[in-house]
Amino acid sequence: MNLLVTGGAGFIGTNFVRYWSRIWPKDSITVLDKFTYAGNYKNLNGLPGDQVKIITGDICNANIVSQLMTQADVVFHFAAESHVDRSLAKNAALVFGQTNFMGTIQLLTSALECWQMINQPRDFVYVGTDEEYGSITAGCYSEKDVLNPSSPYSASKAAGSLMALAFHQTYGLPVIVTRCTNNFGPYQLVEKFIPRSITNLLEGQKIKLYGTGENRRDWISVSEHCIALELVRRLGTPGEIYNIGAGNEYANLEIAQMICEIIGYNPEDYIEFVPDRPGHDFRYAVDTTKINNLGWTSFPNFKESLEETISWYRANRFWWQNAKREAEEFYSQLGR
């Protein structure tokens, strides 16, 4: 097959491209990435050049998207502005809306036009987030629940997923939507909670927790997420939504304590509580019955995966220090 992977040089996209390249070495993969601070050419180093083609471009660019879409058998749409804290800054909602919503519309429109032209519909997988559902005190959200996003980030992702489903409902575009819980693993930028906590400790700094640290999340290793996405593409039904989770629910404080203990620091000395951010969702949780029925089984290996992630950041200090610097430079240029 020929895959088009948007945002394929970002965190989840990078891990997915590496996974697919290893599992399906005869498939061709085209990565389309804008290469802001969130995407890095070096993330894809070592992959076979005759299998993985890298294109610098914006998903909002109709010409680039249309050219690539004609060659694609499958589209995995990862490209997004993805950091909640960044989305809260002044004027940031405009940037998030442009990429996450308008960019998705451009991809869907090009897919529809190209695939109608060749009279051969292909698969389109929209990679969403559980944050689209909003916070839940107890129990889990199912795919049938009403979306209630709290931040510009989650609202823009929800808008994109609804548009994807609308293209299926109206035009018959074979779209599948996934909504996954919090990911962690190699190549994740240090602005996110787990890598920020790890790298802070590696630099001798404290872990900073919003509020009381009691906010709860279900965590899934990015490698497991990649396996789930392949399964959904193969066995999922177009027009359907599939929640992806691993059942590893922890409070942020518990995660911080675990990271301290693995690295060898006393949590009481290296955890600092800071004022909470606006609209901070307390808890995310999704019901995974639907994807379980496709044969999905998560692996109860959270601490082992966390230890492997910490080892990766220990071994790749230059990568994350450089990525951190590029992120700050990028946002300083935008004035936020």
131, 143, 224, 281: the active-site residue: 131
Residue 276 annotated in active site: no
> Are 36 and 24 a contacting pair, CB within 8 Å?
no
> Are 238 and 176 a contacting pair, CB within 8 Å?
yes
Q: How far apart are CA 94 and CA 155, in angstroms?
A: 12
* Secondary structure tally for the chain: helices H, strands E: 13, 12
Residues in the chain: 336
Residues 6+ apart with CB under 8 A from 122: 72, 73, 74, 75, 111, 115, 174
Residue 131 annotated in active site: yes
123, 130, 132, 143: the active-site residue: 130
126, 153, 270, 284: the active-site residue: 153
Output the six-digit token pair for 41: 């050419």
* Cα atoms found within 13 Å of the Cα of residue 64, Cβ hemisphere only: 16
Q: Which of 74, 16, 72 is nearest to 47 (CA)?
A: 16
State whether residue 303 is helix, strand or coil: helix
Q: Give the distance, in angstroms, between the CA of residue 31 and the centroid of all CA atoms in the same chain.
A: 15
CA torsion angle 34 15 206 332 (round to 10): 0
Output the six-digit token pair for 206: 């404290």
Residue 81 annotated in active site: no
Q: How far apart are CA 205 and CA 270, in angstroms?
A: 7
> Are 121 and 74 a contacting pair, CB within 8 Å?
no
The structure tokens 């779209």 sit at 175
Output the DSSP codes for 133-176.
Answer: T---SSS-B-TTSPP---SHHHHHHHHHHHHHHHHHHHH---EE
Residues labelled as active-site residues: 130-131, 153
